[in-house]
Amino acid sequence: MLEVIILPLEKVWFSRRARRWDVDENGRFSWTAKIEIWDWDNCTVSLARTLKDKKLIVVVRSNDTKISRYKGKKPVELRFMNGFDVTKVLEPKTESYTARENIPEKKEGPKKRLVFQLDDDYWIWEWVEDGVDMRSTNTYRIYQLISKEISHPNLSLSDNIFDVELESNKDRVVPVIYQPAVDALDNFVREVHCAESPANGDGLYEVEVTIIFNDEQLRRHMELNSIYRVIRRLLYGRTLDIETFKILVRKDVSNNRLVFEKIYSGDNKIEEDDIHEDQPPAPKHKIRYYFIDTYHPVVFINTSNHAMAEHDANHDIWKWEYVPWLSNVPIKFGNKTRKKIERGFKPWFRFW
């Protein structure tokens, strides 16, 4: 359970030391032995603390604008999120630095930066000019807040809601979806549909959430991709992948549940592509996190075949943050049922 503090919204850089992952020419995802420092600009920072072990968590968000052919060649905002535990922070210092040195076409510098380090592998910083008072910078203000939170914990532990500077959509229950941001996999989300059932006498109702993905490319069994694509086209009339889960909504939100029948990931990660946990009768999972308020449960897509869970199994990878009700997102948001969506495709066997 988390309560989040939003830090100053001015943008900063974020750097992380991590292993390089690789997607080879055949589409197999793997972690390499090479460790590098990766730099991202245009980032905001927030803090959280877990209820169970009271660890301090730093949550970094970034965004980018792209032209989406899928949305009619309109500009869309790609949202990204990365979170990690923190136990120590070092005092800020100035130094000469070259950003994105491992990406030649995006390299910037060397220039002077103000930077502070978190644990062994994370840095928050900004470019500065000579003569600037570092105490007036956004980087220094963030450092002060994190340092104070480490030495004198102040975050309350009252709820499990991600506090984000966005407007909620309180007209209906809509999940926020996180997915490992690995562009080369082509398995990203295209559409999210939420179909509500009528409420019963106790106020209980279900939201059937159907996610349409651009593709379902196998990773561990990538040699079967071509055959699998043909089979999907014959059986379902599509190569798009479609997955469905349910949100069980009660009057008492503490009793809200998620049901991932045949698509629960457990603790399996992005490398896996044949995960179908929670066979019928599927268990009801307690919602671990909400986004902004209790109208928006958080769901993590964890594997390459789009198995999902109420928790994140890929902590080392940036996530796409899909907030369906925003107007400038790269996905389409609707209210179709799974049955209606499937009727829009023409399987081969219908004609024979």
In tens, the pLDDT along 12-41 reads: 999 999 888 777 666 666 777 889 999 999
State how far the Cα of 164 lies from the Cα of 195, in Å rounded to an integer.
25
Indicate if 139 and 189 belong to the same structural domain. no
* 157 — pLDDT class (breaks 50, 70, 90): very low
Q: Is residue 162, in this structure, part of any structural domain at all? A: no
The pLDDT assigned to 164 comes to: 80
Indicate if 131 and 231 belong to the same structural domain. no
More confident residue, 3 or 226: 226
- pLDDT of 184 > 70? The answer is no
CA torsion, points 337, 339, 341, 344, in degrees to nearest 10?
-150
- Name, in order, each residue with C-beta under 8 angstroms of 189's C-beta and a sequence gap of 6 or more: 177, 179, 211, 212, 213, 214, 301, 320, 322, 331
Strand partners, 247: 207, 258
State how far the Cα of 161 lies from the Cα of 94, in Å rounded to an integer.
36
Indicate if 67 and 105 belong to the same structural domain. yes
State how far the Cα of 205 lies from the Cα of 251, in Å rounded to an integer.
9
Q: Is residue 341, in this structure, part of any structural domain at all? A: yes
Q: Is residue 160, in this structure, part of any structural domain at all? A: no
Q: Is residue 157, in this structure, part of any structural domain at all? A: no
> Exposed, middle or buried by CB within 10 Å (0-12, 13-18, 19+), for 35?
exposed
Indicate if 217 and 338 belong to the same structural domain. yes
Indicate if 25 and 113 belong to the same structural domain. yes
Indicate if 216 and 68 belong to the same structural domain. no
Indicate if 208 and 293 belong to the same structural domain. yes
* Residue 237 zone, left/alpha/beta (φ > 0; ψ -120 to 50; rest): left
State how far the Cα of 7 lies from the Cα of 47, in Å rounded to an integer.
7
φ/ψ of residue 65, rounded to 5: -110, 130
User: Which tokens belong to 173?
Assistant: 């229950």
Q: Is residue 133, in this structure, part of any structural domain at all? A: yes
Q: Is residue 92, in this structure, part of any structural domain at all? A: yes
The pLDDT assigned to 70 comes to: 84
Stretch among 3-7, 10-14, 236-240, 311-315 having the lowest mean pLDDT? 3-7
Compute the average pLDDT of residues 206-230: 77
Domain count, the chain: 2
* Residue 73 zone, left/alpha/beta (φ > 0; ψ -120 to 50; rest): left
Provide the CA 142 distance to its chain's centre, in angstroms: 23
Per-residue model confidence as pLDDT tens digits over 232-271: 776 777 778 899 999 999 989 889 999 999 999 999 998 8
State how far the Cα of 305 lies from the Cα of 269, in Å rounded to an integer.
10
Per-residue model confidence as pLDDT tens digits over 161-181: 777 878 888 889 999 999 998
Indicate if 93 and 242 belong to the same structural domain. no
Q: Which single residue is written with the structure tokens 């969506």?
A: 341
* 159 — pLDDT class (breaks 50, 70, 90): low
Stretch among 96-110, 116-130, 205-219, 331-345 having the lowest mean pLDDT? 205-219
Compute the average pLDDT of residues 149-164: 70
More confident residue, 334 or 214: 334
State how far the Cα of 340 lies from the Cα of 345, in Å rounded to an integer.
10
User: How is residue 51 annotated by DSSP?
Assistant: T
Show the domain range for 266. 167-351
* 214 — pLDDT class (breaks 50, 70, 90): confident
Which residue, among 43, 142, 40, 42, has the nearest Cα to 91 in the 3D structure?
142
The pLDDT assigned to 348 comes to: 62
Indicate if 175 and 290 belong to the same structural domain. yes
151, 177, 200 - which closes a domain: 151
State how far the Cα of 351 lies from the Cα of 341, in Å rounded to an integer.
19
Q: Is residue 158, in this structure, part of any structural domain at all? A: no
Indicate if 29 and 118 belong to the same structural domain. yes
Indicate if 128 and 191 belong to the same structural domain. no
Indicate if 110 and 134 belong to the same structural domain. yes
Q: Is residue 346, in this structure, part of any structural domain at all? A: yes
151, 175, 203 - which closes a domain: 151
Q: What is the DSSP string of 221-271?
A: TGGGHHHHHHHHHHHHS-SSEEEEEEEEE-SSGGG-EEE-TTTB-TT--TT
Element (H, E) at 147: helix 138-151
The pLDDT assigned to 260 comes to: 98
Report percent pLDDT > 90 for the chain: 54
Compute the average pLDDT of residues 106-115: 96
Which residue, among 71, 123, 70, 125, has the nearest Cα to 94 in the 3D structure?
125
The pLDDT assigned to 93 comes to: 96
151, 181, 216 - which closes a domain: 151
Strand partners, 277: 264
More confident residue, 171 or 158: 171
Per-residue model confidence as pLDDT tens digits over 59-92: 899 988 999 888 888 999 999 999 888 999 999 9
- pLDDT of 9 > 60? The answer is no
The pLDDT assigned to 219 comes to: 65
* 5 — pLDDT class (breaks 50, 70, 90): very low
The pLDDT assigned to 220 comes to: 67
